[in-house]
Chains A and B, each alone.
Chain A
Amino acid sequence: MSILTVILLLPLLALAALAAWPSRQRVMFQAVTIGITFVELVLASLAAWQFDVSAAQSFQFVQKVPWIPSLGISFHVGVDGLSVGLVWMATLVSFAAACASWEIRERVKTFHLLLLLMNAGVLGAFASLDLFFFYIFHELALVPTFLMIGIWGRGGQRSYAAFKITLYLGLGSMVLLLGLLAVFFLAGQTTFDMVELAAQARQSPFPVARQQAVFPLLLLGFGILASLWPFHTWAPLAYGAAPTPTAMLHAGALKKFGLYGLLRVALPLVPDGARDWMSVLAWLALGNLLFCGLVAVRQKELDRLIGYSSVAHMGFIFLGIASGTALGITGAAVVMVAHGMLAALSFGLSGHLYQQTRTLELDRLGGLLRPMPFLGTALVMAMLAACGVPGFGNFPGELLVFFGSWPPRPAATAIAAAAALVVGAVYALRAVRKALHGPLPDAWQAADDLSNPWRRLPFVLLLAGLIGLGCFPGPLVDRIQPAAAAIARPLESAPAPAALIPLPAAALTRPPEEASR
């Protein structure tokens, strides 16, 4: 049995076992969840260590079990250089989220069952190599998210937030389902296996006109799931209302599904359809970076600010994907890993802060660095990482994105580099100043600074991951690069057939900048 199968089965088996356990023994549930996610983290680290870098573009730890033979659906897991880092990041974030579930005091059993289900969904989405399971695993998290925000969420808007995220993600995944089904038909209705589909797409690309019809569906579906501007409004609202572990897991790991799907499914399978849309995607990415960044500056509450900044960071990743170059895609994948840890860290810290202060309004917070040196320091570091300071994981990724994106789109890259980084610095530093400096209200003199070392552990791990990735990005980049090069190859090749059969709709959407070139 592949190590990935074990990682996937663990939470599901634990779920089944805990479901039968009496709900009175509350500590038991948290202990099991933390234990399971820790074992997952260890196993994922082991897999990342054993991963054969020299064959990073091929899938490793593969296991394939036929599931629905008549439709060509099989349970197929495996990782290549692109996904091995994501799986590792997802296990780390899951562990941190499980540790952060201290704040859940009521209906503990239900919460941990849902958390395990969500955990399985996140990991399965990144490890699956079958379109059907890839989709199903992501959807596993939809209902737990809804329930967690609704039952344990905070603020008067939690019901609204729960419905908003569910309807948005439901819309995104239905559009995506149509797109995936269309891909299935392009490939001759024989298989849902991503590896076979990709091989087929490489050998004999699908008809260009068909690809151009299918790609918008995939882009819209994955885009909504990854909070592409202007479909981003669900994210800050839902993360602000969600309980801390949910926000950590969702913003950190699950939201990367849409981006990962673009890289894993949309670009390799329908590259000729993708090419025309790349510049559209680049401009939408600027919308993420600038618009959401500016909105983040104006936020009055810390969790909203973090939520908008997390949406803004998606812009870097979209920009890297839109570059269509190996360098840009590598950068995007690095930012995905780094941002996963960053988002989990930020939401974890703000969640603990909320536990202590019962408010996250920036105007009412202040001076918290004094009673809470650990939390304050961690928050400062998270904010520095968010504005792309060297030494943190985001920096190498963003740098690679800019390098990769410059040759095809200098203008957009220049705007992104100049404006987005400045905007990022403004909101990050504003958050630090408002929350941590200035006069300290009396009520919070004795705020608890994560005094229990066990509670510090997840934050320490996440910070260590961020700094480690920032200082030594080599191992991750080495793993990603061959896989990214394989994705970029069909995009960079001359678009001969695409140019011969222009679709009017696609031609119209091409921005003037590129058409004149």
Chain B
Amino acid sequence: MNAILTMPEMAVTALALGLLVLDLWTPADRKGDLGIAAIGGLALILAGSFLFGAGAPQYAFGGMYVLDGMALFFKRLMLGVGVVALAAALEYSKRFAAGTAEYCALILLAVSGMMWAASANHWALLFVSVELMTVTFYVLVSFERTRMPSLEAGVKYLILGALASAFLVYGVALVFGGTGTLGFAGDSGPGLGTGSVLVRVGLALVLAGLGFKIGMVPCQFWAPDVYQGAPAPTAALLAAGSKAAGFALLLRVLLEAAPDWALEMRPVLMLIAGASILYGNLCAIPQRNLKRLLGYSSIAHAGYMLLGIVVLERAGAAAILFYLAGYACAVLAAFLVAALAFDPGEPEEIPALAGLHRRSPYLAAALALSMISLAGIPPLVGFFGKFLLLKGVVLAAFDSRSFGWLAGVALAGIVTSFYYYFGVVRAIYWSAPAAERPPIAVSRVAGAALGACLVGIVAAGVFPSPLLEAARLAAGALRIP
């Protein structure tokens, strides 16, 4: 029994529960300190996670739980995302009537769910961790219960999320029937085999369930509505964390547990990737709401990342890990600005960003950098991620013409995305504001969190080597048969 391996998750869960308990004795005007404590605790856990070396995979709970390089990479990513999301929450929760500590605790619980998911090596742990994350997100999305959009988004996420869970469970049940085991890789020899129809249908249903998490076509309908309606910190956590957890599970299932099936389904996966890229980018063009635009663009980014899966190689997986880290930095920065630059209750309309460069040059530059990184323009991290993903596709295109088409679709999508990302930049820098608005004061915590994201965007773009090596090391831990 290696329960010590699960220390980080346990610590995050304990932190969340402790926060809830402490909240009982904290006077209302000191609730902010609880948030600071949560940030500090999470940062400590992040630092502590570096005590674990990325050696040979280690197992706990009878092989249910695995700690390998990839799990560790994802855990660090999610802890980092959690720290920034908490900073955003601390800033954003000033507009709640009450519930700062609950909001922070829920974020911590969601982060812990994502971390468990990163280590899942068994269908049961996969399901429980996904549900821990999802059920927490139902509450996080609808947390502003006095605002109708937030509630609407919550119901939408609830119904589609529960539907996805049902698909997932039913799929797992069928896979269990076909293989007679609930573990999916482990030391007993990876690969489930795709012999029976039960397994194939089951895996397809599992793919649909996980596809909901990453927001790929055709399970993407929730993304724009939920991103728009949810409080900005929740949306940030959804985009950066939940998507990463979905990809962690997808990598495990497709590349480790069912590589034969993935190979068989490659044309379908390619179709899904291409459709996600086109759908996300084309639908994002007419959007006026910043968060909704990010919702559509998150679909497109899921499509880009699927390019790393369809090549079915370690290099592709490494590209996804790198891309996820870069995407997290950019999208967290964007949602942080969305949390800071708009008044409470004001819809996050892009035209309302006009004059932001005068109200707060820092926020303006941050949002512009984030958009440019999302568009994938060098020397920012978004470019290098796309570079790595396209590298795999272009290599495959030499052998198969269909990958050439996929590269073409990706290219068209990326160029299309320039239009709307630069539209946001235009709004920030030279659209005429409708009315003069006061400067924005950025608190120290939010400013530091934003600064961390910006450093990530620029540094990992100019010096990609360390992050790339970490991603390669992590992807090397994948037991691709």
Do any beta carbons of A and B sit within 8 angstroms of each other in the complex? yes
Judging by beta carbons under 8 Å apart, are A181 and B394 in contact?
Answer: yes
Interface residues of B in 360-389 (CB under 8 A from A): 372, 377-379, 383, 387
Is the CB–CB distance between A167 and B419 below 8 Å? yes
> B96 interface residue, CB < 8 Å from A?
no
B464 interface contact, C-beta 8 A: yes
A214 to chain B, nearest CB (A): 10
- A445 CB within 8 Å of chain B: no
Q: How far is the CB of B87 from chain A (nearest CB, A)?
A: 24
Contacts of B472 in A (CB 8 A): 70
Q: Which residue of B lies closest to A172 (CB)?
A: B415
Give the residues in chain A near B250, CB-CB below 8 Å. Answer: none
> Do A143 and B377 touch across chains, with their CB atoms under 8 A apart?
yes
Give chain A residues whose Cβ lies under 8 Å from the Cβ of B379: 136, 139-140
* CB under 8 Å from chain A, chain B span 455-480: 464-465, 468-469, 472
Interchain nearest-CB distance for A251 vs B (Å): 21
- Is B398 among interface residues, defined by CB-CB distance under 8 A? yes
Q: Does B262 contact A (CB under 8 A)?
A: no
A159/B394 contact (C-beta < 8 A), A136-B378, A142-B377, A178-B407 known? no
Query: Is A147 an interface residue, CB under 8 A from the partner?
Result: yes
Does residue B170 face the partner (Cβ distance < 8 Å to A)?
no
- Are B398 and A170 in touch, CB under 8 angstroms? no
| CB neighbours of B387 from chain A (8 A) | 177, 181
Q: Does B28 contact A (CB under 8 A)?
A: no
Do the beta carbons of B430 and A167 come within 8 Å of each other? no
Whether, in the assembled complex, A26 has its beta carbon less than 8 Å from a beta carbon of chain B, the answer is: no
Q: Check A68–B465 contact: CB distance below 8 A.
A: yes
Q: Which has the most chain B C-beta neighbours within 10 Å: A70, A151, A166, A189?
A: A166
A139's contact among B378, B391, B397, B465, by CB below 8 Å, is which?
Answer: B378
Distance of A175 Cα from B418 Cα, bound (Å): 14
Do A178 and B415 touch (CB < 8 A)? no
Nearest to B397 among chain A residues (CB) is: A182
Q: For the complex, is B104 an interface residue (Cβ under 8 Å from A)?
A: no
For the side of the interface on A, what is the size category?
A: 20 to 34
| Contact status of A170 and B378, CB under 8 A, knowing A70-B472, A159-B426, A182-B394 | no
Beta-carbon contacts under 8 Å, A4-27 to B: none
Pair A70/B469 contact, Cβ less than 8 Å: yes
How far, in whole Å, are A147 and B426 apart by their CA atoms in the complex? 8
Complexed CA–CA distance, A135 and B376 (Å): 13
B422 engages A151 (CB within 8 Å)? no
Fill in one digit per residue for A72-87: 1 if any B CB lies within 8 Å of its CB, else 0: 0000000000000000
**Cα–Cα, bound, A69→B468 (Å):** 11
Is A210 in contact with chain B by the CB < 8 A criterion?
Answer: yes
| B contact residues around A159 at 8 Å (CB) | 426, 430
Q: Which residues of A, 42-80, contact B by the 8 Å Cβ criterion?
A: 67-71
- CB neighbours (8 Å) of A171 from chain B are 411, 415
Contacts of B469 in A (CB 8 A): 70
The 0/1 profile, CB within 8 Å of A marked 1, for residues 312-350 of chain B is 000000000000000000000000000000000000000
Residues of B within 8 A of A151 (CB): 429-430
B414 within 8 A of A: yes
Bound-state CA distance A177–B394 (Å) is 10
Query: Are A174 and B398 in contact, with the CB atoms below 8 A?
Result: no
In the complex, per-residue mask of B253-292: 1 if CB is within 8 Å of any chain A CB, else 0: 0000000000000000000000000000000000000000
A109: nearest chain-B partner, CB-CB: B361
Check B415–A167 contact: CB distance below 8 A.
Answer: yes
Could you tell me which A residues sit within 8 Å of B by CB distance? 67-71, 135-136, 139-140, 142-143, 146-147, 150-151, 159, 162-163, 166-167, 170-171, 174-175, 177-178, 181-182, 184-185, 189, 210
9 further A-B contacts with Cβ under 8 Å, apart from A139-B383, A159-B430, A174-B414, are A70-B468, A136-B383, A143-B377, A151-B429, A163-B419, A166-B422, A178-B407, A181-B394, A182-B398
30 contacts between A and B (CB under 8 A): A68-B468, A70-B465, A70-B469, A70-B472, A71-B468, A139-B383, A140-B378, A140-B379, A142-B377, A143-B372, A143-B425, A146-B422, A147-B429, A150-B426, A150-B429, A159-B430, A162-B422, A163-B419, A163-B422, A163-B426, A166-B418, A166-B422, A171-B415, A175-B411, A178-B390, A178-B394, A181-B391, A181-B395, A182-B398, A184-B391
Top 3 closest pairs, chain A to chain B, by CB: A181-B394, A136-B378, A139-B378
